Structures are given as C-alpha cells and as structure tokens.
C-alpha cells in the first residue's frame, strides 16, 4: 500500500500541505454554530472540542502517510523515518519485542522508527508487504520464527518468498515452556511419562502452526509420550483454561506463562531451551528428550537492500541490544541474542527451516 | 475494612495533578475517537504507546485505560446521531438511539446514555475494588463447555432482537453464522471461505462488518431520501431527560449495570456481548416490546450502562491474572510490559499503588466523562443540523480512515464498502442487521468451544449437562425458547409485525 505512494511523492506532499486548510474551512463553514444560537453557553467550548476532534483525526491521517513527508537523500542513510513492519497486532509478543528495539535503534540512528502493525495470516501479510517493499532500507520487517521458518512449510501458497528477506540481525529468543496445572501429579518429564501410562493428557497451545504447538509435536515425537493437542486462538485463552484446570498441560513461549509460574499458579516441567529466568527447570535435553527449539525475533530487510545499509543497521542494532529498554525484555523471560556473523545467522536460519518444516509435516498442521 | 484501605491506597496514588491530568487527557481522547466512526481505541492506544515511554507507569496506564472507556462513551454519540456504531459495543445503541434522534429526542438519548454510563461506571469501579480476585476465580470456572452453553443462550436471545418477521430474523442469524465461518478454523487450521485471499484468513473484522451494515448502508439510504432527513433534523426537542424518561430508564440502567459487570469479566465477549444481552433483556421485560426499535428509551439506557460496566470489569482478568480479554486489553499488557511491569497475579501484591490507583482512576475518569459529555450534548445535537451533503463525505472519510487503521489494510476498506451495499439491500428487504451481527459474534465462539469441550471430554457430550454452570445456562436457554413459543408472547410479536 505504502509503496504506491512513492511514485507520486510530490503530489502526496501537496496534499499534505493543503489538507488542514480544507478541514478547517469545512469545520468553520460547515458547522452552523454561529447561525442560530440555541445553546449559546456551550458554543465556544463545544466548537473548540470539535476542532480538537478534527485535529486529532488529522493527526491520524498524517500518521498514515509518513513516507510522503520528507524528501529522500541518497547519500546519507537514514535521511527520513524508517518503517518497521510488525506482522502481528499491537500488544502481542512480537510487538513487545519490537517496541524497545525500535526505541533504542531510533535513538542510536537519530531518526524516527515508525512501527506499522500489519497482522493477519500468521504474519504472512506483513511479511509479504515487507518482501515487496523497495530495497532502500526504509522498510524493515520484524521477522519471527513463524514468519521466516514455519510459514513456508505451513502455507502451500505463501504470498512471499522467505528468501526475499535477509536477516539484518537476530535479536531475541524465548524458550517454549512445558507447563502444567498445579493439580497434575507430575513434577517433571519422567513423572509425566508415568502419568501418561494411566490417563490421557491434553496440552493447550496458542493455535495450529504456532511455535508452541510445533514444539509440542517435536516433544511428543522425541519423547514418545502420548499427548492430545487442543488448539486455542492465541495464548491468553489457552493459559486461562490451564489456570482453570480444564487442561493438564500447555506448551507456550515462556514470557506468557512466566508470571503464573512465579505466582505458583502453574508449574514448569521443562523448557525447550535454557531459560535464565527459571534456573531450576531442566531443558528438554536435560530431561532426556532430544529436542531444542526457541521462538525468536529479528530484523529483516528486502534481500536487494545495499550492503552499506545492512552494515549501518546492524552496527546500530548492536548498540540497541545493550540499551536499557532492550535489557528490560530479559525480566520477561526473553533472552537477548549475542551479535553474530551474517554467515552464522544464515546457517541458523537454514537449520530452522529444516527443523520446523519437519515438525509441520509430522504434525499434519498444514494449512490448505 | 480492606476495601476502604485499598481505595485509600488508590486515592493517594491518583490524587496528583499529573495523574488526574493524564486521566482527563485519556478520557478526552477516548471520547473524541469514540465519536469519530471507526477510529477505535486499539489504533489510538497503539499510536500513543511510544508517547508513554517517558511517563511514570501509573500515569501511562491511567491515560490508556481512560482512552478505552472514554471511547465507549463517545461511541454511543455517533450511534445515536448518525446510526454509525462508533465502537462495536454501541451497535445496539443504534437501534433505539437513532430512532429517538429521528423523533427529535437526540438530546434525551445522549443524556440518558451519559448518565447511565456514569452510574454503571461508578458501580463497576466498586465491583472491581471489592471483588476483583474472587470474580477472576469465578471466570476461571468457565471452561469450553460453559462458554458453549452461554453462546447458545445468547444465540436464542438473538432472535428476540429482531423487530419484525421472526423467520427473517432467523435467516439473518444464520447468515451471520456463515460470515463468522470465514477464516482459519481454530480446530484444524484449515481455511474456510477465504478463496485464497490472505486478508480473509483471519476472518472478517467486526468493525468492518458493523461499519458497513449500519454506517455505510445508512448513508446510502439517507442520500436516497434527502428530503426525509431534513424533516427530523429540524426538530431538536429537549436536551435533558425529563421525569418520565428517568422513570422509564432507571431500572434498565440497574439491570444493564449488573449484566455488564458479569459479562465483562468473561474473555472474548466483554462489552459487545453485554450490550447485546442488556437490550434483549429489556425487550423481554418490557410491557410493550413493540416500542423497541422505534425509540424506546429503555433500549438505550440498558445497553449503554451494560457496555460501560462491561468495559470496566474487563480489566479484572487483566489486572488480577494478566490475561487480556480483548485486543485493547492485549495492548494494555504491552503497555505494562514496556514499563517493566509483568501483568499477572503478582501485580496486586507487588505494586499496590499501581493496581489500586488504576482502579480508583476509573471512577475519576467516569466523573470527567460525564462532566465533559453533558455540556457537549448541545453541540452534538447541533451537528444534526449540518447539511447532509457536507456531513456525509466527512463521515465516509472517517469510516475509511478508521477501518484502514485497524490493520493498515486497503482490502478491509473495500470489504466495508461491500457490506455497506449489502446493508442497503437488507434495508430494502426489511431485514434487520442486528441479529446477523450477534450470530457473527457468537457463532464462531460457539463452534470453537463446542469442539474444544468435546475434545477435552474425549467425545462425551454429557459434559454439557454434568457441569453445573453449563447446565444452568442450558436450562435458561430452554426456558427462553418456551417463552418465545408462548402464545401471548407470539401475539405481541405478531402485533409488532403488523405495525411494521
């Protein structure tokens, strides 16, 4: 949508300049506040409020066309605000990771970063719009394990080629926690195995094809413990039913269950990767199940973006990793990833695609 | 008294110029975006999140919460004046509020909405302060089986919403159910009725559907009959509710507050479900149900009280358990995390000033809202005098901006226009869109919970009858069916049909 503005930038700028005038004219002439004075006492305040409303609406309108505002200068990057597409709704886990990094990156670059939430189709819609954006460094994507490594196997007709997006830097990761209702008579994976021999166990997840679900499938096939999958629409309802004791187990990225574990309302049996916030909880591997997964987040850019811009961005992102805002994520159960060579990150992504692709096929979670 | 000491902690935290100021700013912004059709609290809060970085956490949360419940106030204004649900929870307010406006009683409708909301907000604040923790525990008892039975009750009640032909009402409910099927099936992950369009894979958004069916359709109808509109804009009538209005409205406000406070706690439905059920309840209890849809003040008072109470109590699962019950609450989770507060059961103990401060701020917010809204009624009513040829392009523009701001998706703007045309057809065919919307909201939740309950019960359907809450709800559904089949009630319905 935004890319279509680029061809018509001068025109968009002109609209930007005249829009308020039109609106004010409409407000002043269109509103007959001065014609008939039935309610004179509230007239002034009321008109002020109405104008304020229009001003607010204008603010909205302007927020929607940020790209048309500043002229581009090819020599100096970044010469205008950068758009970071978050392919999930505001307030979700991906958004929570995006905002502190965007804040820190913006301070480091001295240029505004505008977060654009484009949810839908498991992140595919936002990722597709980033993949198709012009490769000038002004449109970035907050890529996730789902968007980059799972969706290509999950959706037969993906609206984007994951190879059209190249990692600038992988930033953060969270282990998936295997949590149980406190009434479940098993304190660890071995206890779970014994319990499963006598009763059928059900695990809730945030939905088909989510990292929690696929980690559950990987755990099930690696451990051989029979478990029934109960999908929910997002993390919150699954956690809710687990807290209410309607389910025995859930697989969910650590940050959404951590407060409940700390409050003693849920117990953590194992985590899919080392979790510094839960020092006493074994990883799957330590518990004898040969599986390791994380839900991760990183900044991606269209593959054709000039190397100089990649270099600038990753240098500033390295600083952003050390910022207080980003550090705060650690208390939520999110691990900040160390800076790595480009080649190492690409190797990691190749391995991820294979691992999750297999999990998708094994689970039968294909969307078609 | 524990309650008093808790409120004391909250008062101490809130009564600073800064916090009161942010509270006022929040409800002011909320009212404005509520009034502007389609611009919702989700987009506004998302946009303001970065602004709150520099604020102390309590001030930030007070302001963001104010935007949410302020929007519920503002939403009813647009619903009453131009038949556009400014917020999804004000859809039912359109039915009788707009009819009242057409009769020149817009001021009365707005006044009742504001005062009813204030009363509901005050009670809901007390409910949260006194019983947040036990209520949250109660909400946990609602498993998939209970949800299914609740949705069934709601769906049967949906038919009562209809103004005329009961068969058309059922047809509209079914159409709503079908529209609700669009999207990815939660159980299997399969896509249904998406025609390979990625934008449809998460289903049709409620805002898109309600904005199209009510708002855009109304604009087309109005443009078709330009002379008809001028007639009712000429009459404004009294601005404040009179003695007779208060007599009619106070009981619905009480009932709406109770219903809203209860339903708001349950995830998923919240404010929307509570306003729908309050309307249904009032219509059921009325001596003359045929007045509904033609400007019955009870049909404004009940739902307005309910949606405000529901908006407020929907903070309970968030504050007590850290579980967001709707997209706005999910944003509040994000806002809390940005400030380094992990929402969850520990917030109440670890940060009492923040917890109780936020709750107490809601009462101040409601006070500000009523002080802000009562004087504004005069202005809003005068808006009706703006020539429609000037007003409708502005409304259309805001609708488009509002829909676009949800997902930054142009596709959804187009879809809204499609539903606008469909809504116009419904008006021509004398089909009511309200039952369709309720079917659309309840259908997918009902299916999801039915399948989940069966999965959890390992295929044993007795689960719906062995769980006490579920059984109670099913019995209530059966009773409601009987009442509808009862001859006297049927006669009343036939009478209403003849009048149409």
Q: What is the pLDDT of residues B140-180, one digit of tens each?
A: 888 889 888 888 887 777 666 555 677 888 888 899 989 99
pLDDT of residue B488: 53
Smallest CA–CA distance, residue B263 to chain A, in Å, is 16
pLDDT of residue A79: 85
Instruction: Say whether B173 sits in a helix, a strand or coil.
Output: helix
Helix B388-407 to helix B41-48 angle (10° resolution) is 60
Q: Please, where in chain A does CATH 3.40.190.10 lie?
A: 175-271
Nearest to A86 by CA among A46, A52, A41, A126: A126
A 262-291: CB under 8 A from B: 262-263, 265
Q: What is the pLDDT of residues B392-451, one digit of tens each?
A: 888 888 888 888 877 778 899 999 999 999 999 998 998 888 788 888 888 888 888 899
Q: What is the pLDDT of residues B87-117, one digit of tens each?
A: 667 888 888 888 888 888 888 888 898 889 9
Residues A78 and B460: their CA atoms lie apart, in Å, by 61
3-state secondary structure A80-149: CCEEEEECCCCCCHHHHHHHHHHHHHHHHHCCCEEEEECCCHHHHHHHHHHHCCCCCCCEEEEEEHHHHH
A 62-91: CB under 8 A from B: 63-64, 89-91
Asked if the C-beta of A40 comes within 8 angstroms of chain B's C-beta atoms, the answer is no
With a cut of 70, say whether residue A32 has pLDDT above it. no
Closest residue on chain A to B347 (Cα): A259
Q: What is the pLDDT of residues B241-275, one digit of tens each?
A: 788 888 888 899 999 999 888 888 876 656 677 88
The domain defined by A175-271 folds into D-Maltodextrin-Binding Protein; domain 2 (3.40.190)
Nearest to A214 by CA among A363, A23, A38: A363
Test mutation, B37, B197, B334, B393, chain A, max A CBs within 10 A: B334
Q: What is the pLDDT of residues B27-67, one digit of tens each?
A: 999 888 888 776 778 778 877 877 777 788 899 999 999 99
pLDDT tier at A273 (50, 70, 90 boundaries)?
A: very high
Smallest CA–CA distance, residue B374 to chain A, in Å, is 10
Smallest CA–CA distance, residue B186 to chain A, in Å, is 6
pLDDT of residue A53: 58
Q: What is the pLDDT of residues A182-228, one digit of tens each?
A: 999 988 999 999 999 988 899 999 888 889 999 999 999 899 999 99
Residues B372 and B29: their CA atoms lie apart, in Å, by 11
Smallest CA–CA distance, residue A329 to chain B, in Å, is 8
Answer yes or no: do A262 and B346 touch at CB < 8 A.
yes
Answer yes or no: do A91 and B39 touch at CB < 8 A.
no
Q: Please give the CATH architecture assigned to the domain spanning A82-173+304-363.
A: 3-Layer(aba) Sandwich (3.40)
Q: What is the pLDDT of residues A244-261, one digit of tens each?
A: 899 999 999 998 898 889
Instruction: Say whether B196 sits in a helix, a strand or coil.
Output: coil
pLDDT tier at B206 (50, 70, 90 boundaries)?
A: confident
DSSP A221: H
pLDDT tier at A181 (50, 70, 90 boundaries)?
A: very high
Q: What is the pLDDT of residues B324-374, one digit of tens each?
A: 777 788 888 878 877 778 777 778 878 888 889 999 999 999 999 988 888
Asked if the C-beta of A355 comes within 8 angstroms of chain B's C-beta atoms, the answer is no
State the pairing for strand pair A294-302/A165-180: antiparallel
Answer yes or no: do A366 and B189 touch at CB < 8 A.
yes
Smallest CA–CA distance, residue B35 to chain A, in Å, is 9
Exposed/middle/buried for residue B425 (C-beta within 10 Å: 0-12, 13-18, 19+): exposed
Residues A45 and B189: their CA atoms lie apart, in Å, by 53
Per DSSP, the residues of B474-485 read HHHHHHHHHHHH
pLDDT of residue A44: 43
Answer yes or no: do B143 and A244 touch at CB < 8 A.
yes
pLDDT tier at B489 (50, 70, 90 boundaries)?
A: low
H or E segment and range at residue A270: strand A267-271
pTM: 0.79
Asked if the C-beta of A99 comes within 8 angstroms of chain B's C-beta atoms, the answer is yes
Residue B147's CB is within 10 A of a number of other CB atoms, namely: 26
Answer yes or no: do B342 and A332 touch at CB < 8 A.
yes
Residues B362 and A18: their CA atoms lie apart, in Å, by 39
pLDDT of residue A61: 53
Nearest to A53 by CA among B380, B284, B346, B453: B380
Answer whether A295's CB lies under 8 Å from A253's CB: yes
pLDDT of residue B495: 55
pLDDT of residue B269: 58
Q: Please, where in chain A does CATH 3.40.190.150 lie?
A: 82-173+304-363
pLDDT of residue B336: 84
Nearest to B369 by CA among B7, B27, B136, B58: B27
Using only the alpha carbons of chain B, give its radius of gyration.
Answer: 22
pLDDT of residue A51: 53
Nearest to B345 among A56, A117, A259 (CB): A259
What residues have CB less than 8 Å from B92, skipping those under 6 apart?
B161, B275, B276, B278, B279, B299, B303, B434
């Amino acid at each position: 949508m935004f890319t279509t503005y680029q061809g018509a930038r001068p025109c968009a700028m002109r609209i930007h300049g005249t829009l308020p005038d039109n609106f004010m004219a409409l407000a002043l002439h269109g509103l007959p506040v001065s014609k008939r004075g039935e309610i004179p006492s509230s007239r002034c305040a009321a008109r002020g409020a109405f104008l304020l409303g229009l001003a607010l609406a204008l603010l909205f309108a302007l927020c929607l066309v940020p790209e048309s505002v500043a002229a581009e200068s090819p020599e100096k990057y970044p010469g205008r605000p950068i758009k970071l597409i978050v392919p999930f709704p505001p307030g979700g886990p991906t958004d929570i990771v995006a905002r502190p990094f965007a804040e820190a990156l913006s301070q480091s670059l001295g240029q505004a970063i505008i977060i654009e939430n484009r949810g839908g189709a498991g992140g595919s819609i936002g990722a597709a719009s980033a993949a198709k954006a012009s490769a000038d460094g002004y449109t970035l994507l907050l890529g996730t394990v789902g968007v980059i490594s799972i969706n290509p196997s999950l959706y037969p007709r993906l609206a984007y080629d994951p190879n059209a997006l190249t990692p600038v830097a992988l930033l953060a990761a969270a282990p998936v926690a295997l949590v149980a209702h406190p009434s479940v008579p098993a304190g660890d994976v071995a206890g779970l195995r014994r319990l499963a021999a006598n009763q059928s166990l059900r695990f809730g997840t945030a939905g088909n094809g989510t990292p929690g679900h696929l980690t559950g499938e990987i755990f099930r096939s690696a451990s051989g413990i029979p478990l029934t999958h109960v999908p929910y629409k997002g993390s919150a309802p699954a956690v809710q039913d687990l807290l209410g004791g309607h389910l025995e187990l859930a697989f969910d990225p650590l940050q959404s269950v951590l407060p409940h574990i700390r409050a003693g309302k849920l117990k953590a049996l194992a985590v899919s990767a080392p979790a510094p916030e839960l020092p006493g909880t074994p990883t799957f591997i330590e518990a004898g199940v040969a599986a390791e997964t994380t839900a991760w987040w990183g900044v991606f850019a269209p593959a054709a973006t000039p190397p100089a811009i990649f270099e600038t961005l990753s240098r500033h992102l390295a600083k952003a990793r050390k910022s207080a805002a980003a550090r705060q994520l650690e208390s939520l159960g999110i691990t900040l990833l160390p800076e790595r060579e480009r080649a190492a990150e690409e190797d990691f992504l190749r391995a991820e695609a294979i691992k999750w692709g297999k999990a998708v096929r094994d689970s039968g979670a294909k969307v078609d | 008294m524990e309650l008093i000491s808790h409120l004391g902690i909250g008062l101490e935290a809130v009564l600073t110029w800064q916090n009161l100021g942010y509270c006022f700013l929040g409800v002011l912004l909320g009212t404005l975006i509520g009034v502007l059709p389609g611009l919702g609290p989700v987009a506004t809060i998302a946009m303001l999140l970065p602004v709150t970085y520099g604020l102390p956490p309590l001030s930030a949360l007070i302001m963001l919460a104010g935007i949410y419940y302020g929007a519920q106030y503002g939403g009813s204004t647009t619903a009453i004046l131009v038949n556009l649900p400014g917020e999804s929870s004000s859809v039912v307010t359109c039915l009788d509020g707009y009819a009242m406006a057409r009769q020149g009683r817009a001021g009365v409708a707005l006044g009742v909405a504001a005062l009813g909301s204030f009363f509901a907000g005050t009670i809901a604040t007390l409910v949260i302060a006194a019983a947040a923790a036990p209520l949250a525990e109660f909400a946990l008892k609602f498993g998939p089986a209970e949800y299914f039975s609740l949705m069934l009750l709601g769906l049967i009640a949906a038919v009562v919403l209809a103004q005329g032909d009961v068969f058309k009402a059922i047809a509209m409910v079914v159409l709503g159910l079908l529209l609700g099927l669009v999207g990815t099936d939660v159980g299997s992950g399969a896509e249904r009725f998406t025609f390979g369009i990625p934008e449809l894979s998460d289903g049709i958004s409620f805002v898109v559907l309600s904005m199209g069916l009510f708002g855009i359709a109304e604009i087309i109808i109005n443009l078709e009959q330009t002379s008809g509109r001028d007639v009712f804009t000429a009459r404004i009538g009294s601005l404040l509710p009179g003695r007779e209005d208060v007599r009619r409205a106070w009981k619905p406000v009480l009932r709406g507050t109770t219903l809203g406070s209860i339903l708001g706690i349950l995830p998923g439905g919240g404010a929307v479900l509570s306003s729908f059920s309050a309307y249904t309840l009032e219509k059921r209890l009325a001596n003359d149900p045929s007045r509904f849809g033609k400007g019955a003040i009870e049909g404004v008072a009940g739902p307005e009280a309910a949606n405000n109470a529901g908006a407020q109590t929907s903070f309970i699962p968030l504050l007590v358990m850290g579980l967001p019950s709707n997209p706005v609450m999910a944003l509040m989770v994000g806002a809390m995390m940005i400030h380094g507060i992990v929402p969850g059961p520990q917030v109440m103990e670890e940060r009492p000033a923040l917890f109780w401060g936020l709750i107490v701020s809601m009462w101040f917010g409601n006070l500000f809202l009523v002080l802000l809204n009562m004087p504004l009624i005069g202005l809003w009513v005068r808006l009706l005098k703006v020539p429609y040829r000037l007003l409708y392009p502005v409304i259309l523009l805001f609708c488009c901006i509002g829909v676009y701001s949800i997902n930054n998706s142009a596709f959804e703007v187009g879809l809204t226009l499609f539903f606008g045309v469909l809504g116009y057809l419904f008006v021509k065919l004398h089909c009511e869109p309200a039952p369709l919307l309720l079917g659309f909201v309840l259908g997918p939740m009902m299916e999801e919970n039915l399948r989940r309950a069966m999965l959890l019960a390992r295929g044993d359907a007795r689960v719906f009858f062995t769980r006490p809450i579920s059984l109670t709800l099913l019995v209530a559904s059966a009773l409601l069916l009987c009442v509808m089949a009862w001859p006297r009630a049927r006669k009343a319905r036939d009478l209403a049909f003849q009048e149409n």
